[in-house]
Amino acid sequence: MAQLTIENFINNEHVKPSLGNYFDAFEPARGLPYAKIPDSTKDDVELAYKAAATAFPEWSKTGRPERAKVLYRIADLLESRLDEFARAESRDQGKPVELARTVDIPRAVSNFRFFAGRILHSVEEAGELPGVGFSYTQRMPIGVAGLISPWNLPLYLLTWKIAPCIACGNTAVCKPSEFTSMTAYLLCSVLKDAGLPAGVVNMVFGTGMNAGQAIVEHPRIPLISFTGGTVTGAKIIANSARYFKKLSLELGGKNANIVFEDCDFDLALKTSLRSSFANQGEICLCGSRIFVQRPIYERFLNGLVQGAKALKVGDPTKSDVNLGALVSKEHWEKVVSYIDLGVKEGGKIECGGQKPPSLADEFKNGYFLEPTVISGLTPSCRTMREEIFGPVVTVYPFDTEEEAVALANDSEYGLSCSVWTENGRRARRVAGEIQAGTVWVNTWMARDLRMPFGGMKQSGLGREGGEHSLDFYSELKTICLAD
């Protein structure tokens, strides 16, 4: 089968990279190249910037109802192609098609619909200043935004940025991950068919070192929204500091999953299996550090191991498959190295840790890995502190509520946490003490687009979602009119 060649999308047209260079995109399930991706440079970013800057004056003055209509059309067109996008997302990222069909693509659709409606019901502040006059606030679009999205939830997180960005009247230069460019490429046709004016959204494909860094360092791109690793986030802060850019950084996580003895055991176990291994563990919100109260520790560990062994790993197109392939060979090797490290640090591999032996011949070179549970480690070891971002979890016992909170907070990260207890007062106490941007009680990955989302500590800067997205993608000014 011939390889598809992807091109940049600038000013509503597909454009070859300025230097004519491409690199291979690999299909994770087979370990074979299947597409050519532009190796874009700062010249391509500059071309995209000029298109976005040219489009900004008219788009920023387009009324909210008209902008909302375009976003609703984008959502409808994307939804009409749901199966096509789900298959493309699976082939490109390695995840099961069924996961992309039921979660990733529907959530991308929801992103556009939510922000289309949100801007129609936005209310600004106003008040009388007695003896002086009247004050009110007004939101202004910022300009050209740089939107850099990750490889684990490619379309979902890209649209989480695009939708509020253009809803607020900005234009954008987007850079999807070089590992997962396909659904971003397909989205370009949806944007054009929906009637989004030329230049409002531009897509530049390539590496972070070339295209991504050029966006971050561009002197006239005043806003950067980035989802990815903490190390890259630190570089973005450093490289953009001299321009005082507005930043929203959703970075890494090493999330705690706290299971108290008074939990709904079956629900906690079932959901913990999902929060451990969904999307091959390649979700920044996965609960990779599982802390279980000692009276139920052995029972929970045994249940988790048996549940992990029952999960099916293999052909992502099959509806009964639970885990597909990891995104790349390099990432697979990194995850496996952490499993080896866990053993060296004194851990016991309760299950997993290997490539599944029963893979069909066409998937022998794929980047598959069995769901892995490790016990016996100490909280201070690297395996329990560093982000692995794969189907690997550690399980550790605790005795008291205070100990559980201390273990959960003993981390450089602070993205999310799950708490399992039927004691309402305990739930409120623990949730209030956890140092994380999101705390789920007796659930995981419940999504409320009205609520703020972001991390504490090395898990990021800023919040997006609902009003917080509008705050980030606009400048709020106060106007005072004298009597």
User: How far are the Cα atoms of 70, 75, 100, 185, 332 from residue 88, in angstroms, in the given order?
Assistant: 24, 18, 9, 10, 21
Token pair listed for 290: 């599982």
Question: Who contacts 123 (Cβ-Cβ below 8 Å, separation ≥6)?
Answer: none
Sheet containing 126-129: which strands, arranged edge to edge? 126-129, 133-141, 474-482
Beta carbons within 8 Å of 447's beta carbon, 6+ residues apart? 107
- Positive or negative, the CA dihedral 107, 391, 463, 88 is negative
Query: In whole angstroms, what separates CA 171 from the centre of its chain?
Result: 21
Q: Are 412 and 253 in contact (CB under 8 A)?
A: no
Q: Could you give the CA distance from residue 103 to residue 101 in angstroms, rounded to a whole number?
A: 6
User: Which H helix or E strand runs over 348?
Assistant: strand 348-351
Place of tokens 């954008």: 172
What does the alpha-carbon distance between residue 328 and residue 313 come to, in Å, rounded to a whole number? 16
Q: Which residues contact 4 (CB under 8 A, 6 or more apart)?
A: 34, 35, 36
Strands (E), 20-82: 22-27, 32-38
Nearest to 331 by CA among 437, 182, 204, 179: 179
Cα three-residue angle 373-379-380, rounded to 5 degrees:
125
Instruction: Look at residues 152, 155, 192 and name the one whose alpha carbon lies nearest to residue 174.
Output: 155
User: What positions carry a catalytic annotation?
Assistant: 250
Could you give the CA distance from residue 57 to residue 59 in angstroms, rounded to a whole number?
6
What is the C-alpha R_g of the chain? 23
With vertex at residue 335, the alpha carbon angle to CA 333 and CA 337, rounded to the nearest 5 degrees, is 70
Instruction: Find out whether 321 and 312 touch, Cβ atoms under 8 Å.
Output: yes
Q: Rounded distance, CA 170 to CA 284, Å?
A: 27
Query: Which residue type sits at 177?
Result: S
